[in-house]
């Protein structure tokens, strides 16, 4: 499902226009982004949790030249952990 299909589904289920549904979806995504940038966690009970994880610096190998060792810097990565209710629905 892409963004346009999701907007159409939200509009259908909430009886909003597609334009209003897109505004709501964009507001949700922006709110989650802002919270993650600030280092906050976003918990939606029953659905899941959006969080940021720290990745340690490490060494890796260049795939084109396996003898060459490269340093991979520390970084932050956004993650999503599915909630219990969502897992149960997916697994039947």
Task: Check pLDDT > 90 for residue 79.
Answer: yes
Phi, psi for residue 11 in degrees, rounded to 5? -60, -40
Q: Which CATH number fits domain 3-91: 4.10.520.10, 2.40.30.10, 3.90.180.10, 3.40.1190.20?
A: 4.10.520.10
Q: What is the pLDDT of residues 20-68, one digit of tens each?
A: 999 999 999 999 999 999 999 999 999 999 999 999 999 999 999 999 9
Ordered by start, the domain boundaries in the chain are 3-91
pLDDT at 18: 96
pLDDT at 92: 87
Please state, in angstroms and as integers, the Cα–Cα distance from residue 55 to each residue in 6, 39, 58, 80, following that order: 31, 14, 9, 15
pLDDT at 55: 95
71-76: Cβ within 8 A, 24+ apart: 76/52
Task: Check pLDDT > 90 for residue 6.
Answer: yes
């Amino acid at each position: 499902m892409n963004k346009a299909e999701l907007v159409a589904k939200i509009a259908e289920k909430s009886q909003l226009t597609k334009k209003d549904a897109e505004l709501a979806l964009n507001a949700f995504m922006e709110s989650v982004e802002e919270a993650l940038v600030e280092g906050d966690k976003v918990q939606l009970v029953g659905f899941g949790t959006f969080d940021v994880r720290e990745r340690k610096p490490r060494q890796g190998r260049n795939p084109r030249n396996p003898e060459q060792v490269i340093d991979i810097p520390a970084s932050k990565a956004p993650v999503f952990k599915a909630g219990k209710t969502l897992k149960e629905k997916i697994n039947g």
